[in-house]
Amino acid sequence: MARVLVVDDDSEYLEMINLLLERDGHQTVLSADGRDGLAKALADPPDLAILDVMMPGITGYEICRQLRGNPATSSVPIIILTARGQPVDRQASLDAGADAHMSKPVTMSELSELISTLLAKRVMVRAPSLEGVVVLLSLRGGVGVTMLAVNLAAALTQAGDASVCLVDLCPSSGHAALQLRLKPDPNWSGLARTGGIDAPLVASHLLKHNTGLRLLASPVFPVMGSQNMSRLAAQTVLSTLRQRFSTVVVDAPSVLNEAAVAAVEAAAVVGLVITAESASIQTAVGTLRALRDWFDKFRIILNYVAPGPETPIEPLERALKRPVVGTVPFDPAQAQALAQGEPLILRNPGSPLAQAVKELAGGLLRSADAGR
């Protein structure tokens, strides 16, 4: 049973949706006033919200934006249910952060199915079983590894059922801190060759995002030689982080250095990120061959970094001999999110990329569980 907030100044729709939800076994919180509905949501966050758009005082879009901007309600699934049914209205709903837009009149069976789908997705993302070290890796740059790692870590943090640390192991000025609008000081350069690494020392090198996500950032300037993190140091750091955090998401470097190998060794599951281009697939084949000792840990993530037609999954799985656990569509909103230093999963949770990342969390979860 879920607790569902419905805000609509149309009393007939309010009562009709109330009857539907009660029939499906849900608990309802009803409001015919936008400001009252927002106050109820913030005071006691619901499991799902259904919002009308045109209401006196405050619109459904503004309610949606305020819910997304509050950490306590930022992950609540939101349906915009409105008489406005043009494509521009649907886009306005998604831009405000809604998960779905439905036009009145709507059949109760369609609404019931959508509610069930959104609640099921939320349960999947909130599942606390995605534990251990989760590595995202590609030896070909420009395929979006850091973007996916940052958004995945933010999504897991947002779900609230796990303590999450993101580790950027790039030795050539990684961008995880930049994408979170954090100053990468301190960073792991202070741990790279330090003897006696312990929990307090590692904790002193972590940055804190306002969502609660912790980050072990990469150095501001590229490092080389003895300044790189050794395999033993990486093993110790990851082991120490695992004692404190239920999930450690690693943004692995695009080179097989000692730290990258240590991360793969420690991983419960490794997401090998590819694009649909032949060069990326060729590099993935070589990566799997080089890391064949950990072949069973690898799962494929197909990321579209530019607009284009979808690529069939089956040929990729045959070529790489590994399952594809997630497909992330090209999302033009990602460019603005990068410019603003805010992960798209937080800036616009209803966007196609954000939804795909939430589903990716579930795919990696199932893969990790199957491998145990």
In which domain, by residue range, is 162 found?
129-371
State whether 353 and 213 are in the same domain: yes
Kindly give, in sequence order, each residue whose CB lies less than 8 Å from that of residue 369, ignoring residues fewer than 6 positions away: 129
State whether 103 and 248 are in the same domain: no
State whether 285 and 328 are in the same domain: yes
Residue-by-residue pLDDT tens, the chain, 372 positions: 678 999 998 888 899 999 988 888 888 999 999 999 999 998 888 989 999 998 888 999 999 999 988 777 888 899 999 888 788 888 888 888 888 999 888 888 888 889 888 887 665 444 444 568 999 999 999 999 999 999 999 988 877 656 899 999 999 888 999 999 999 999 999 887 667 788 889 999 999 998 889 999 999 998 887 788 999 999 999 999 998 898 999 999 999 999 999 999 999 999 999 999 999 999 999 999 999 999 999 999 999 999 888 899 999 999 999 999 999 999 888 888 877 888 988 888 878 888 888 888 877 876 665 555
State whether 211 and 277 are in the same domain: yes
- Cα–Cα dist 253/223, whole Å: 12
Where among 95, 125, 155 does a domain terminate? 125
State whether 106 and 143 are in the same domain: no
Where among 125, 158, 178 does a domain terminate? 125
Rounded to 5 degrees, what are φ and ψ at 102? -130, 140
Where among 71, 103, 125 does a domain terminate? 125
User: Phi-psi category of 106—alpha, beta or left, where left has phi over 0 and alpha has psi -120 to 50?
Assistant: beta
State whether 111 and 136 are in the same domain: no
Task: Tell me the HSE value of 132 on the side-chain side, using a 13 A CA sphere.
Answer: 20
